[in-house]
Amino acid sequence: MRYVSTRGGVSEMPFCDAVMMGVGSDGGLLVPVAIPNVKDALPRYQGLSYPALAFEIMRLFIDDIPEDILRSLIEKSYETFDDPLVTPLVQVGDIHLLELFHGPTLSFKDLALQFLGNVFAYIPQETRLNILAATSGDTGSAAIASVQGQPEINIFVMFPEGRTSSLQEKQMTSLLSDNVWNIGIEGSFDDCQSILKSIFSDLEFKQKYNLGAVNSVNWARILAQVVYYFFIYAQLGAPEKFEVAVPTGNFGNIFAGYIARAMGLPISRFILATNQNDILHRFFTTGRYKRGEVHFSHSPAMDIQVASNFERYLYFQFASNTEKVKKFMSSFTRTGSASINFNTKTFDDVFASGSATDDESIDMIRHVHDATGYIMDPHTAVGVHVGKQLRNPAQPLVCLSTAHPAKFEEAMTRALPEETLVQDTLEQLRNMPTRKTVLKAEVDAVKAFIATCNQ
């Protein structure tokens, strides 16, 4: 499989080069030139273990890692999960939840980052690799966990200072290895992400420090997430059709589902759920993609107004017309707003969307707990709230459960004051020493910091 940029400005490259490039050198995102159709292989996927299924899917997109090595990278990536199914599907009342939080840092980010960390370690590097990440809370710890102890890799993680949950911050800052630097940015996640984008677009700096990207701009992350959509199908017993509700921030998780569907998986519709940061909900209801103020919520991993993977979706919807993508993105960058016309036949209607307030998601946590005893996290609750509202009752509804509830003490105490959530790995963090550096939301401050740490 070869990869190209959504903006048409890079020449075709194989998977490992796409992983190393991270963000396209023309400012776009890397996408595969074709999406293989596996409809006929679906029966064969039934009954495969998670790693075996991951190998079947990923090999279609990776032809520059020998198969036996790819297989062992995948096996190593999912050995660290605490459930034999890796992503078990559980029935809760009249919906299904796909639990994506059984990895080392308890969010769905581990599914992709355990794999990406192993791929980075596999690809030979000429100089020390400096991974730079922006996180709204969960990517940071998952990325650190994936490269911790790799002697040839440094990792720098920017998070919005004071805006992640306290345990999320501890998960990052208690890792005191010499190759880990946590940076609290005085701003929002969007500020972190825009600093990241501008550092990656300084190609000279990027090359000098051999920068690697672990955000969902990196295609490897999307690819690894495609797998669990197929695993839903297997666990549901090959339904004719099903719907998936996804709590969404950066449009990475749901976009992986979109790829799975394009490969022939019978997902009838995606229910995109946002919190009060509803740029994507507004887009899917009006066709207008317009930046708003970031509001801080109980589901901090979704406090995002500029969804980086959205550009990949546009590329496929515009039938690979990179000029159209460029025009849309440059209008958005310049004015903070861009539109498409939903009435033209080119846009499909596989996305329904809605948003949930903090109060609504807290109510949903309580409601599901009262009715079934199941405790879900505040991000999952956003997906369940919107999913229940918009579902087609004639089809199974699967909601992606994106994090372990114990990560979000503050919100969970509000929702279920009588319950104490104890999760062993998190408990151990409480009294650990931590280390972080706080920087202003300025590109140059972060660049200077990276330079100093590499001296």
Ligand X SMILES: *Cc1c(COP(=O)(O)O)cnc(C)c1O
Which residues of the chain form contacts with ligand X (CB under 6 A)? 107, 109, 138, 216, 247-253, 301-302, 379, 402-403
324 is catalytic: no
Name 51's Cβ contacts closer than 8 Å, sequence gap at least 6.
71, 74, 75, 77, 78, 86
Give least dist CB 417 to ligand X, A. Answer: 22
Contact 301, 249 (CB under 8 A): yes
Give least dist CB 408 to ligand X, A. Answer: 8
User: Tokens at residue 260, please?
Assistant: 């799975």
Q: What type of residue is 7?
A: R
Report the residue number, 42 or 416, with the smaller CB distance to ligand X.
Answer: 416
Give least dist CB 8 to ligand X, A. Answer: 25
Q: What type of residue is 141?
A: S
Report the residue number, 6 or 277, with the smaller CB distance to ligand X.
Answer: 277
DSSP-derived letter for residue 107 is B
User: Around Cβ 405, how many Cβ atoms within 10 Å?
Assistant: 26
DSSP string, 65-77: S-HHHHHHHHHHH
Report the residue number, 60 or 301, with the smaller CB distance to ligand X.
Answer: 301
Which among 39, 109, 324, 407 is annotated as catalytic? 109
Most distant CA atoms of the chain, gap in Å: 61
Report the residue number, 96 or 109, with the smaller CB distance to ligand X.
Answer: 109
Contact 439, 447 (CB under 8 A): no
Report the residue number, 65 or 256, with the smaller CB distance to ligand X.
Answer: 256
- Measured CA to CA, the distance from residue 139 to residue 93 in angstroms comes to 30
Report the residue number, 138 or 358, with the smaller CB distance to ligand X.
Answer: 138
Contact 97, 235 (CB under 8 A): no
Give least dist CB 215 to ligand X, A. Answer: 9
User: Tokens at residue 378, please?
Assistant: 């505040």
3-class secondary structure, 181: strand
Give least dist CB 30 to ligand X, A. Answer: 17
3-class secondary structure, 419: coil
Give least dist CB 119 to ligand X, A. Answer: 19
Contact 368, 374 (CB under 8 A): yes
Give the β-pairing of 337-339 and 437-440: unpaired
The residues that are catalytic are 109
